[in-house]
Amino acid sequence: MIKRIPLWGKIWIFLMVLGPGIITSFADNDAGGITTYSIAGSHFGYKLLWVLVLVTFALAIIQEMTARLGVVTNKGLADLIREEFGLRWTLFAMLTLLVANSATIISNFAGIAAGFELMGVAKFFSVPIMAFFIWLFVVKGNYRQVERIFLLLCLLAFSYVASGFLARPDWGEAVRATFMPNISWSSEYLLLLVAFIGTTITPWMQFYLQASIVDKGISLKRYKYERAEVLLGAFFTDFISLFIIIACAATLFRHGIRIEAAKDAALALRPFAGSAAEMLFALGLIGASTLTSFIVPLSTSYALCEAFGFESGLDRKFQEAPIFYGLYTVLIVAGSALILIPRLSLVFVMYLAQAIQGFLLPIILIFMLMLVNNRRLMGIHVNNRFYNLVVWLMVLGIAAASLALVFFMI
């Protein structure tokens, strides 16, 4: 007699076997991501859709590069940087990563705070409790299962797809904006551009994805499956991003509403969820923020310990790996404590964090480019010219936008 697996069982199994590519892409649409895309849609309508197309393309290429680097060398990104560039450059790269990741951590605690505030829970309760909860599950080593629950909450992001259709957007305008680049030379637009790129392609993702791939021990033979998963993940992420922008453009932008707080952003879900929009938005935000809060502090500690040769790993005791656990704890405590500052604009924090990541991304990308083009490391698997061209254009593009932004701000 064949035992039938109930539906929830099947979902559970599917979630348990999800690969690094998919998890990374889920975590990519974190608090900062949702906020940035919402701002893009509600402040500029469809105007940034062309950027999304290019960024998706770059994301796919960069993620593929990261995966290839992991599969061929069997080493984490931090490992490779240390071994190929020496200590001083490693210090520089790790400082960059630490700043970018701290920004991400803070932004996700802001996401947790904003989500709970929509549900009527003050941040002074929600943030310390969630921070402790995240810390505890990771240190006790059974966070993997808990992580899946939040992954499930991330699926709520699909409600943007429904909302996007139901809001009756101007499809003609959307398609036109997708293929017709337009840049407005204002500091507001440029900041959004940098944040937009920074939230889609983040420094931490490259470290996390490569580490997960090395962890899984994916062989070169099986690489084509991994590549498929990574590419799928990239397109999936931006499919959601696309609908966040469309839903916001069709609702908030049409009515001239600017996002000042999380409850404004929740309005974009009205066409689909009606009065439950705020609740839906809150749950999705909490899910995405918590998932990322599990991943980023841990991935940061791993990367730093890896680079400087400190003992790391959740299978070690606190006494055996004091720096690893210490750093992890400090990141969570400091990140969550900052959010408790009274009258802090959570939306602004989330948004600014993405811009910081955008500014710092080129540094990490240059390290990666040099590694992936190193024939001694990669053999025949070095980048082809097209890849190099795309990534270099990306680096120059962000650098140019950042410089222009600085110029406009002064």
Partner 1 sequence: MYASELIGDPVVDRVQEPVGKVKDILIVLGEVFPKVSGLLITAEHDRKEKVLLLGEIDLIGKQFVATKSVKDRVPLTTLREGDILLARDVMDKQIVDVEGVRVIRVNDLKLAKVDQEVRLIAADVGLSGLLRRIGLLGAVGWLLSLFGRKVPETLIGWDHVEPLKTDLAKGRIAIPTKKTEDLHPADIAQIISQVHTEERTAIFTALSEKTAAEALHELEPMIGAMLLSTVDTKKALNILEKMPVDEAADLLGDLPPEKTEEFLRLIKVKKAAEIRKLLTHHDETAGGLMTTEFITLPQNLTIEQTINRLREQAPNAETIYYLYVVDEAERLMGVLSLRNLIIASPEKILSEVMIKDCITVTPEMNQRQVAGIISKYNLLAVPVVDADHKISGIITVDDVMDFILPPVSRQKRQMVG
The contact set with partner 1 (CB under 8 A) reads 74-75, 79, 82-83, 86-88, 90-91, 306-309, 311
- CB-based burial of residue 221 (10 Å sphere; 0-12 exposed, 13-18 middle, 19+ buried)? exposed
Alpha-carbon distances of 294 from 13, 200, 289, 376, rounded to whole Å = 21, 18, 9, 35
CA distances from 83 to 70, 199, 203, 237, 267 (A): 14, 28, 19, 32, 49
Shortest distance in whole angstroms from residue 247 CB to partner 1: 47
The answer for residues whose C-beta is within 8 angstroms of residue 326's C-beta and 6 or more apart is none
Closest approach, Cβ 161 to partner 1, in A, equals 43
As to burial, measured by CB atoms within 10 angstroms (0-12 exposed, 13-18 middle, 19+ buried), residue 182 is exposed
Looking at the Cβ atoms of 90 and 96, the one nearer to partner 1 is 90
Shortest Å distance, C-beta 309 to partner 1: 3
Query: Residue 251 carries which DSSP code?
Result: I
> Residue 113 or residue 307: which is nearer to partner 1 going by CB?
307
Q: For partner 1, give the closer residue by CB, 44 or 328.
A: 328
Measured from the CB atom, the residue of 78 and 390 that comes closer to partner 1 is 78
Please identify, using beta-carbon distances, which residue of 165 and 308 lies nearer to partner 1.
308
% helix / strand / coil in the chain, to the nearest 5?
Answer: 80, 0, 20
- Give the shortest CB-329-to-partner 1 separation in angstroms: 18
Smallest gap from Cβ 67 to partner 1, in A, equals 18
Least distance in angstroms from the C-beta of 212 to partner 1: 17
- Burial of 385 per CB tally in 10 Å (0-12, 13-18, 19+): exposed
**With respect to partner 1, which residue has the nearer C-beta, 91 or 161?**
91
Which residue, 168 or 316, is less far from partner 1 as judged by CB? 316
Q: For residues 170 and 311, which CB has a smaller minimum distance to partner 1 in the complex?
A: 311
Radius of gyration of the chain (CA): 20
The three-point CA angle 229-142-79 to 5° equals 55
CA dist., res. 301 & res. 93, Å (int): 14
**DSSP designation for 257:** -
Distance CA 208, CA 198 (A): 16
- Residue 88 or 385 having the CB closest to partner 1: 88
Separation of alpha carbons 151 and 14, rounded Å: 12
Kindly state the smallest distance separating residue 258's Cβ from partner 1, in Å. 47
First to last CA, the chain: 74
Q: Which is nearer to partner 1, 68 or 82 (CB)?
A: 82
Nearest-approach distance from CB 163 to partner 1, in angstroms: 48
Contact 112, 293 (CB under 8 A): yes
Candidates 64, 314, 76, 381; CA nearest to 214 is: 76
Q: How far is the CB of 306 from partner 1 (least distance, A)?
A: 8
Q: Min. distance of Cβ 361 from partner 1 in angstroms? A: 25
Whole-number minimum distance, CB 328 to partner 1, in Å? 18
Nearest CB to partner 1, comparing residues 249 and 321: 321
**Tokens in use for 269?**
């879900």
Q: Which residue has the tokens 């490391």?
A: 377
Contact 106, 297 (CB under 8 A): no
